[in-house]
Amino acid sequence: MKSLSRILAVLRKEVRQLRRDRLTFGMVVGLPVMQMLLFGYAINTDVRNLEAAVADQADTHLSRQFVAELAQTQVIDIVDRVATPEQLEALLRQGDISIGVYIPRDFDRRVVDGTRAAAHLLVDGSDPTILGVANQLRLMPFGFDAGNAARSAPQALEVRPYYNPERRTPVNIVPGLMGVILTMTMILFTAVAIVRERERGNLELLINTPVSSLELMIGKVVPYILIGMVQLALILAVGRLLFDVPVRGSVVDLYLAAMAFIAANLSLGLFISTAARTQFQATQITVFILLPSILLSGFMFPFEGMPEVAQWLGEVLPNTHFIRLTRGIMLRDAALGDLLGEMAYLLGFTVVAMTGAALRFTKRLD
Protein backbone atom coordinates (compact mmCIF):
# COMPACT_ATOMS: atom_id res chain seq x y z
CA MET A 1 0.00 0.00 0.00
CA LYS A 2 2.74 2.42 0.97
CA SER A 3 4.75 1.01 -1.89
CA LEU A 4 2.01 1.77 -4.39
CA SER A 5 1.59 5.32 -3.13
CA ARG A 6 5.33 5.88 -3.44
CA ILE A 7 5.28 4.60 -7.02
CA LEU A 8 2.37 6.94 -7.75
CA ALA A 9 4.28 9.83 -6.18
CA VAL A 10 7.26 9.22 -8.47
CA LEU A 11 4.93 8.78 -11.43
CA ARG A 12 3.09 12.05 -10.75
CA LYS A 13 6.37 13.88 -10.37
CA GLU A 14 7.64 12.45 -13.65
CA VAL A 15 4.51 13.48 -15.57
CA ARG A 16 4.63 16.93 -14.01
CA GLN A 17 8.25 17.44 -15.04
CA LEU A 18 7.58 16.03 -18.49
CA ARG A 19 4.75 18.51 -19.01
CA ARG A 20 7.07 21.40 -18.21
CA ASP A 21 9.86 20.11 -20.43
CA ARG A 22 8.59 21.46 -23.73
CA LEU A 23 11.44 20.10 -25.80
CA THR A 24 10.89 16.52 -24.68
CA PHE A 25 7.15 16.93 -24.92
CA GLY A 26 7.57 18.21 -28.48
CA MET A 27 9.80 15.27 -29.28
CA VAL A 28 7.15 12.82 -28.10
CA VAL A 29 4.72 14.05 -30.73
CA GLY A 30 6.92 15.79 -33.27
CA LEU A 31 9.52 13.11 -33.74
CA PRO A 32 7.25 10.32 -35.00
CA VAL A 33 5.31 12.62 -37.31
CA MET A 34 8.45 14.23 -38.74
CA GLN A 35 10.13 10.91 -39.31
CA MET A 36 7.05 9.46 -40.90
CA LEU A 37 6.86 12.35 -43.34
CA LEU A 38 10.58 12.23 -44.11
CA PHE A 39 10.87 8.50 -44.54
CA GLY A 40 7.47 8.13 -46.14
CA TYR A 41 8.03 10.70 -48.86
CA ALA A 42 11.78 10.73 -49.30
CA ILE A 43 12.74 7.08 -49.19
CA ASN A 44 11.47 5.56 -52.35
CA THR A 45 13.01 2.46 -53.82
CA ASP A 46 10.11 2.26 -56.22
CA VAL A 47 11.86 4.15 -59.00
CA ARG A 48 9.99 5.95 -61.75
CA ASN A 49 10.76 8.55 -64.38
CA LEU A 50 14.51 8.17 -64.50
CA GLU A 51 15.90 10.73 -66.92
CA ALA A 52 17.11 9.06 -70.07
CA ALA A 53 18.43 9.92 -73.53
CA VAL A 54 18.21 7.91 -76.72
CA ALA A 55 20.72 7.54 -79.54
CA ASP A 56 18.74 5.77 -82.22
CA GLN A 57 21.13 5.16 -85.09
CA ALA A 58 18.85 2.63 -86.76
CA ASP A 59 15.81 4.89 -86.89
CA THR A 60 13.57 2.19 -88.31
CA HIS A 61 9.92 1.41 -87.66
CA LEU A 62 10.98 -1.34 -85.23
CA SER A 63 13.47 0.82 -83.28
CA ARG A 64 10.94 3.64 -82.91
CA GLN A 65 8.41 1.13 -81.61
CA PHE A 66 11.03 -0.19 -79.14
CA VAL A 67 11.74 3.31 -77.79
CA ALA A 68 8.03 4.01 -77.49
CA GLU A 69 7.52 0.86 -75.43
CA LEU A 70 10.41 1.73 -73.16
CA ALA A 71 8.85 5.12 -72.55
CA GLN A 72 5.49 3.51 -71.83
CA THR A 73 6.90 1.61 -68.86
CA GLN A 74 7.28 5.02 -67.14
CA VAL A 75 10.47 3.72 -65.65
CA ILE A 76 12.41 6.08 -67.88
CA ASP A 77 11.55 9.52 -69.03
CA ILE A 78 13.18 10.35 -72.33
CA VAL A 79 14.46 13.87 -72.03
CA ASP A 80 16.93 14.01 -74.91
CA ARG A 81 17.73 12.48 -78.27
CA VAL A 82 21.30 12.41 -79.49
CA ALA A 83 23.17 11.00 -82.44
CA THR A 84 26.07 8.95 -81.04
CA PRO A 85 26.81 6.72 -78.05
CA GLU A 86 29.68 9.08 -77.16
CA GLN A 87 27.17 11.84 -76.60
CA LEU A 88 25.21 9.49 -74.31
CA GLU A 89 28.37 8.89 -72.30
CA ALA A 90 28.97 12.60 -71.98
CA LEU A 91 25.44 13.17 -70.69
CA LEU A 92 25.86 10.33 -68.17
CA ARG A 93 29.14 11.76 -66.96
CA GLN A 94 27.61 15.19 -66.46
CA GLY A 95 24.80 13.61 -64.50
CA ASP A 96 22.13 14.94 -66.87
CA ILE A 97 20.70 11.46 -67.41
CA SER A 98 20.74 8.18 -65.46
CA ILE A 99 20.19 5.86 -68.40
CA GLY A 100 21.26 6.08 -72.01
CA VAL A 101 19.58 3.92 -74.67
CA TYR A 102 21.83 3.13 -77.61
CA ILE A 103 20.26 1.54 -80.66
CA PRO A 104 22.89 0.51 -83.22
CA ARG A 105 22.47 0.87 -86.98
CA ASP A 106 21.81 -2.88 -87.44
CA PHE A 107 19.08 -3.05 -84.75
CA ASP A 108 16.53 -4.83 -86.97
CA ARG A 109 18.99 -7.49 -87.99
CA ARG A 110 20.08 -8.08 -84.41
CA VAL A 111 16.48 -8.53 -83.31
CA VAL A 112 15.91 -11.11 -85.99
CA ASP A 113 19.25 -12.75 -85.34
CA GLY A 114 18.64 -13.01 -81.61
CA THR A 115 22.19 -13.99 -80.70
CA ARG A 116 23.45 -10.55 -79.87
CA ALA A 117 21.79 -7.87 -77.78
CA ALA A 118 19.69 -5.70 -80.00
CA ALA A 119 20.21 -2.50 -78.04
CA HIS A 120 22.40 -1.28 -75.19
CA LEU A 121 21.48 0.42 -71.92
CA LEU A 122 24.19 2.71 -70.64
CA VAL A 123 23.57 2.98 -66.93
CA ASP A 124 24.89 5.18 -64.15
CA GLY A 125 26.10 2.29 -62.03
CA SER A 126 27.12 4.51 -59.13
CA ASP A 127 23.61 4.16 -57.75
CA PRO A 128 22.72 0.53 -57.09
CA THR A 129 19.00 1.28 -57.18
CA ILE A 130 19.22 2.58 -60.73
CA LEU A 131 21.32 -0.39 -61.74
CA GLY A 132 18.62 -2.65 -60.34
CA VAL A 133 15.99 -0.88 -62.35
CA ALA A 134 18.04 -1.22 -65.50
CA ASN A 135 18.27 -4.94 -64.88
CA GLN A 136 14.51 -5.05 -64.67
CA LEU A 137 14.26 -3.22 -67.98
CA ARG A 138 16.42 -5.87 -69.57
CA LEU A 139 13.69 -8.39 -68.82
CA MET A 140 11.01 -6.22 -70.33
CA PRO A 141 8.91 -8.31 -72.68
CA PHE A 142 9.28 -6.69 -76.04
CA GLY A 143 6.04 -7.57 -77.77
CA PHE A 144 6.50 -6.91 -81.45
CA ASP A 145 3.85 -6.60 -84.07
CA ALA A 146 1.80 -9.59 -84.85
CA GLY A 147 4.16 -10.52 -87.65
CA ASN A 148 7.08 -10.75 -85.32
CA ALA A 149 5.24 -12.31 -82.42
CA ALA A 150 7.21 -15.50 -82.64
CA ARG A 151 10.37 -13.61 -81.80
CA SER A 152 9.18 -11.95 -78.62
CA ALA A 153 11.28 -13.85 -76.13
CA PRO A 154 9.08 -15.40 -73.45
CA GLN A 155 10.15 -14.43 -69.96
CA ALA A 156 11.71 -17.06 -67.82
CA LEU A 157 10.41 -15.64 -64.57
CA GLU A 158 7.51 -13.54 -63.63
CA VAL A 159 7.59 -11.65 -60.34
CA ARG A 160 4.41 -11.47 -58.35
CA PRO A 161 4.84 -9.23 -55.33
CA TYR A 162 2.66 -10.60 -52.58
CA TYR A 163 1.33 -8.38 -49.76
CA ASN A 164 2.43 -5.21 -51.47
CA PRO A 165 1.17 -5.63 -55.02
CA GLU A 166 1.67 -2.01 -55.98
CA ARG A 167 5.26 -2.19 -54.69
CA ARG A 168 4.82 1.04 -52.74
CA THR A 169 7.74 1.74 -50.44
CA PRO A 170 5.78 3.28 -47.52
CA VAL A 171 3.92 0.03 -47.04
CA ASN A 172 7.21 -1.60 -46.33
CA ILE A 173 8.82 1.34 -44.52
CA VAL A 174 6.12 2.25 -42.00
CA PRO A 175 6.05 -1.02 -40.02
CA GLY A 176 9.82 -0.83 -39.70
CA LEU A 177 9.76 2.85 -38.93
CA MET A 178 7.58 2.19 -35.89
CA GLY A 179 10.41 0.12 -34.48
CA VAL A 180 13.06 2.73 -35.25
CA ILE A 181 11.09 5.60 -33.72
CA LEU A 182 10.21 3.64 -30.61
CA THR A 183 13.82 2.47 -30.22
CA MET A 184 15.03 6.03 -30.37
CA THR A 185 12.53 7.66 -28.04
CA MET A 186 12.08 4.87 -25.51
CA ILE A 187 15.78 4.19 -24.91
CA LEU A 188 16.76 7.83 -24.96
CA PHE A 189 13.97 9.08 -22.69
CA THR A 190 14.49 6.52 -19.95
CA ALA A 191 18.27 6.63 -20.05
CA VAL A 192 18.30 10.41 -19.90
CA ALA A 193 15.51 10.62 -17.32
CA ILE A 194 17.55 8.78 -14.71
CA VAL A 195 20.98 10.11 -15.63
CA ARG A 196 19.59 13.66 -15.48
CA GLU A 197 18.53 13.09 -11.88
CA ARG A 198 21.96 11.78 -11.07
CA GLU A 199 23.59 14.81 -12.72
CA ARG A 200 21.35 17.29 -10.91
CA GLY A 201 21.90 15.58 -7.58
CA ASN A 202 18.22 14.59 -7.24
CA LEU A 203 19.21 10.96 -6.97
CA GLU A 204 21.22 11.54 -3.81
CA LEU A 205 18.08 12.95 -2.24
CA LEU A 206 15.83 10.20 -3.59
CA ILE A 207 17.96 7.32 -2.39
CA ASN A 208 17.86 8.78 1.10
CA THR A 209 14.10 8.52 1.18
CA PRO A 210 12.19 5.31 1.85
CA VAL A 211 11.54 4.81 -1.88
CA SER A 212 13.12 1.56 -3.12
CA SER A 213 15.06 1.11 -6.36
CA LEU A 214 12.28 -0.94 -7.88
CA GLU A 215 9.58 1.57 -6.91
CA LEU A 216 11.68 4.35 -8.37
CA MET A 217 12.24 2.48 -11.63
CA ILE A 218 8.60 1.54 -12.08
CA GLY A 219 7.44 5.07 -11.33
CA LYS A 220 9.87 6.48 -13.86
CA VAL A 221 9.17 3.96 -16.60
CA VAL A 222 5.37 3.78 -16.64
CA PRO A 223 4.84 7.28 -18.10
CA TYR A 224 7.11 6.36 -20.98
CA ILE A 225 5.13 3.20 -21.73
CA LEU A 226 2.11 5.45 -22.19
CA ILE A 227 4.16 7.78 -24.38
CA GLY A 228 5.21 4.80 -26.49
CA MET A 229 1.56 3.85 -26.94
CA VAL A 230 0.69 7.39 -28.01
CA GLN A 231 3.54 7.39 -30.50
CA LEU A 232 2.42 4.08 -31.91
CA ALA A 233 -1.09 5.43 -32.42
CA LEU A 234 0.34 8.53 -34.12
CA ILE A 235 2.48 6.48 -36.49
CA LEU A 236 -0.41 4.21 -37.41
CA ALA A 237 -2.69 7.18 -37.98
CA VAL A 238 -0.20 9.05 -40.18
CA GLY A 239 0.59 5.84 -42.05
CA ARG A 240 -3.07 5.26 -42.69
CA LEU A 241 -4.03 8.81 -43.64
CA LEU A 242 -1.06 9.84 -45.75
CA PHE A 243 0.39 6.63 -47.08
CA ASP A 244 -2.58 4.31 -46.96
CA VAL A 245 -0.61 1.69 -45.04
CA PRO A 246 -2.94 -1.12 -44.04
CA VAL A 247 -3.16 -3.02 -40.76
CA ARG A 248 -4.28 -6.38 -42.10
CA GLY A 249 -3.89 -8.27 -38.86
CA SER A 250 -5.38 -7.51 -35.47
CA VAL A 251 -4.68 -4.13 -33.90
CA VAL A 252 -4.74 -5.81 -30.49
CA ASP A 253 -1.94 -8.14 -31.59
CA LEU A 254 0.00 -5.16 -32.87
CA TYR A 255 -0.33 -3.37 -29.52
CA LEU A 256 0.66 -6.49 -27.60
CA ALA A 257 3.76 -6.82 -29.75
CA ALA A 258 4.49 -3.12 -29.22
CA MET A 259 4.09 -3.51 -25.44
CA ALA A 260 6.73 -6.23 -25.41
CA PHE A 261 8.99 -4.14 -27.62
CA ILE A 262 8.56 -1.00 -25.50
CA ALA A 263 9.30 -3.00 -22.36
CA ALA A 264 12.49 -4.34 -23.96
CA ASN A 265 13.64 -0.85 -24.92
CA LEU A 266 12.79 0.71 -21.57
CA SER A 267 14.74 -1.97 -19.75
CA LEU A 268 17.65 -1.32 -22.07
CA GLY A 269 17.31 2.40 -21.35
CA LEU A 270 17.37 1.71 -17.63
CA PHE A 271 20.42 -0.46 -18.05
CA ILE A 272 22.19 2.30 -19.98
CA SER A 273 21.29 4.77 -17.25
CA THR A 274 23.16 2.67 -14.72
CA ALA A 275 26.28 2.76 -16.89
CA ALA A 276 26.23 6.37 -18.11
CA ARG A 277 27.45 9.15 -15.82
CA THR A 278 26.21 12.11 -17.86
CA GLN A 279 23.28 12.82 -20.16
CA PHE A 280 25.77 13.22 -22.98
CA GLN A 281 27.09 9.70 -22.45
CA ALA A 282 23.55 8.34 -22.30
CA THR A 283 22.79 10.00 -25.63
CA GLN A 284 25.95 8.60 -27.19
CA ILE A 285 25.21 5.06 -26.08
CA THR A 286 21.68 5.41 -27.43
CA VAL A 287 22.99 6.45 -30.85
CA PHE A 288 25.37 3.50 -30.70
CA ILE A 289 22.36 1.20 -30.40
CA LEU A 290 20.12 3.18 -32.73
CA LEU A 291 22.39 2.94 -35.79
CA PRO A 292 22.51 -0.86 -35.94
CA SER A 293 18.80 -0.87 -35.13
CA ILE A 294 18.27 1.04 -38.37
CA LEU A 295 20.90 -0.66 -40.51
CA LEU A 296 21.01 -4.27 -39.30
CA SER A 297 17.41 -4.89 -38.30
CA GLY A 298 16.06 -5.48 -41.78
CA PHE A 299 14.55 -2.00 -41.82
CA MET A 300 16.87 -0.62 -44.50
CA PHE A 301 18.28 -3.74 -46.13
CA PRO A 302 16.82 -7.23 -46.46
CA PHE A 303 17.96 -9.22 -43.45
CA GLU A 304 18.83 -12.34 -45.43
CA GLY A 305 21.08 -10.35 -47.73
CA MET A 306 23.43 -9.31 -44.94
CA PRO A 307 26.70 -11.08 -44.12
CA GLU A 308 26.33 -13.75 -41.46
CA VAL A 309 28.11 -11.79 -38.72
CA ALA A 310 25.83 -8.82 -39.33
CA GLN A 311 22.86 -11.16 -39.07
CA TRP A 312 24.04 -12.40 -35.67
CA LEU A 313 24.32 -8.81 -34.48
CA GLY A 314 20.93 -8.08 -35.96
CA GLU A 315 19.36 -11.00 -34.12
CA VAL A 316 20.42 -9.47 -30.80
CA LEU A 317 18.61 -6.20 -31.46
CA PRO A 318 15.01 -6.00 -30.25
CA ASN A 319 14.11 -3.94 -33.31
CA THR A 320 14.88 -6.84 -35.67
CA HIS A 321 12.28 -8.97 -33.94
CA PHE A 322 9.78 -6.16 -33.68
CA ILE A 323 10.04 -5.41 -37.40
CA ARG A 324 9.31 -9.06 -38.16
CA LEU A 325 6.31 -8.82 -35.87
CA THR A 326 4.95 -5.60 -37.36
CA ARG A 327 5.49 -6.59 -40.97
CA GLY A 328 3.86 -9.90 -40.22
CA ILE A 329 0.85 -8.47 -38.43
CA MET A 330 0.32 -5.37 -40.57
CA LEU A 331 1.09 -6.70 -44.02
CA ARG A 332 0.74 -10.48 -43.96
CA ASP A 333 -2.25 -10.68 -41.62
CA ALA A 334 -0.26 -12.93 -39.31
CA ALA A 335 -1.57 -13.63 -35.83
CA LEU A 336 0.64 -13.23 -32.78
CA GLY A 337 0.51 -17.01 -32.47
CA ASP A 338 2.40 -17.34 -35.76
CA LEU A 339 5.21 -15.19 -34.40
CA LEU A 340 5.64 -16.52 -30.88
CA GLY A 341 9.41 -16.88 -31.30
CA GLU A 342 9.83 -13.16 -31.86
CA MET A 343 7.60 -12.32 -28.89
CA ALA A 344 9.52 -14.73 -26.69
CA TYR A 345 12.79 -13.05 -27.63
CA LEU A 346 11.47 -9.58 -26.73
CA LEU A 347 10.16 -10.77 -23.37
CA GLY A 348 13.38 -12.62 -22.63
CA PHE A 349 15.40 -9.54 -23.55
CA THR A 350 13.28 -7.47 -21.14
CA VAL A 351 13.86 -9.87 -18.28
CA VAL A 352 17.62 -9.95 -18.85
CA ALA A 353 18.04 -6.18 -19.26
CA MET A 354 15.75 -5.41 -16.32
CA THR A 355 17.59 -7.81 -14.05
CA GLY A 356 20.89 -6.32 -15.14
CA ALA A 357 19.63 -2.81 -14.46
CA ALA A 358 18.19 -3.70 -11.05
CA LEU A 359 21.43 -5.41 -10.05
CA ARG A 360 23.53 -2.47 -11.11
CA PHE A 361 21.23 0.18 -9.68
CA THR A 362 21.93 0.21 -5.98
CA LYS A 363 20.70 2.69 -3.47
CA ARG A 364 24.25 3.70 -2.77
CA LEU A 365 26.66 6.11 -4.35
CA ASP A 366 29.73 3.87 -4.47
Partner 1 sequence: MSREFAIEARGLTKRFGDLVAVSQLDLDVPRGTIYGFLGPNGSGKSTTIRMLCGLLMPSEGKALVLDTEVPGDARRLKPRIGYMTQKFSLFGDMTVFENLQFIAEIYSYPRRERAGRIEELLERYDLRDQRRQLAGTMSGGQKQRLALACAVLHRPELLLLDEPTSAVDPQSRRDFWSALFRLAEAGTTILVSTHYMDEAERCHRLAILDHGVKVADGTPTELQAGTGMHVVEVTSSNPYQAQQVIADLPAVASVTQLGVRLRVLIPDSEDNPVALVEEAMRAANLDTHAELSTASLEDVFVAVTLKPQSKAA
Query: By the criterion CB under 8 A, which residues form the site for partner 1?
Result: 2, 5-6, 8-10, 12-13, 16-17, 20-21, 200-202, 204-212, 363-366
Nearer to partner 1, 219 or 249 (CB): 219
State how far the Cα of 49 lies from the Cα of 76, in Å rounded to an integer.
5
Nearer to partner 1, 44 or 212 (CB): 212
φ, ψ for residue 76 (rounded to 5)?
A: -115, 155
Task: Work out how close the CB of 359 gets to partner 1 at its nearest, in angstroms, rounded to a whole number.
Answer: 16
Task: Work out how close the CB of 355 gets to partner 1 at its nearest, in angstroms, rounded to a whole number.
Answer: 20
Task: Work out how close the CB of 216 gets to partner 1 at its nearest, in angstroms, rounded to a whole number.
Answer: 10
Sheet holding 120-123, edge to edge: 76-82, 50-56, 99-103, 120-123
Nearer to partner 1, 154 or 210 (CB): 210
Task: Work out how close the CB of 364 gets to partner 1 at its nearest, in angstroms, rounded to a whole number.
Answer: 6
State how far the Cα of 236 lies from the Cα of 36, in Å rounded to an integer.
10
State how far the Cα of 93 lies from the Cα of 142, in Å rounded to an integer.
29
Nearer to partner 1, 14 or 69 (CB): 14
Nearer to partner 1, 8 or 34 (CB): 8
Q: What is the largest CA-CA distance in the chain?
A: 92
Task: Work out how close the CB of 353 gets to partner 1 at its nearest, in angstroms, rounded to a whole number.
Answer: 25
Task: Work out how close the CB of 213 gets to partner 1 at its nearest, in angstroms, rounded to a whole number.
Answer: 11
Which of 24, 3, 28, 9 lies closest to 196, judged by CA?
A: 24
Which of 27, 70, 6 lies closest to 207, judged by CA?
A: 6
Task: Work out how close the CB of 197 gets to partner 1 at its nearest, in angstroms, rounded to a whole number.
Answer: 9
DSSP of 10-30, one letter per residue? HHHHHHHHHHH-HHHHHHHHH
Nearer to partner 1, 201 or 337 (CB): 201
Which of 253, 264, 275 lies closest to 182, judged by CA?
A: 264
State how far the Cα of 259 lies from the Cα of 346, in Å rounded to an integer.
10
State how far the Cα of 175 lies from the Cα of 172, in Å rounded to an integer.
6
Task: Work out how close the CB of 365 gets to partner 1 at its nearest, in angstroms, rounded to a whole number.
Answer: 5
Nearer to partner 1, 21 or 80 (CB): 21
Task: Work out how close the CB of 16 gets to partner 1 at its nearest, in angstroms, rounded to a whole number.
Answer: 6
Helices (H), the chain: 2-20, 22-42, 61-72, 85-94, 107-113, 128-138, 169-200, 202-206, 213-243, 251-275, 279-295, 308-316, 318-326, 340-360
Nearer to partner 1, 94 or 208 (CB): 208
Nearer to partner 1, 136 or 202 (CB): 202
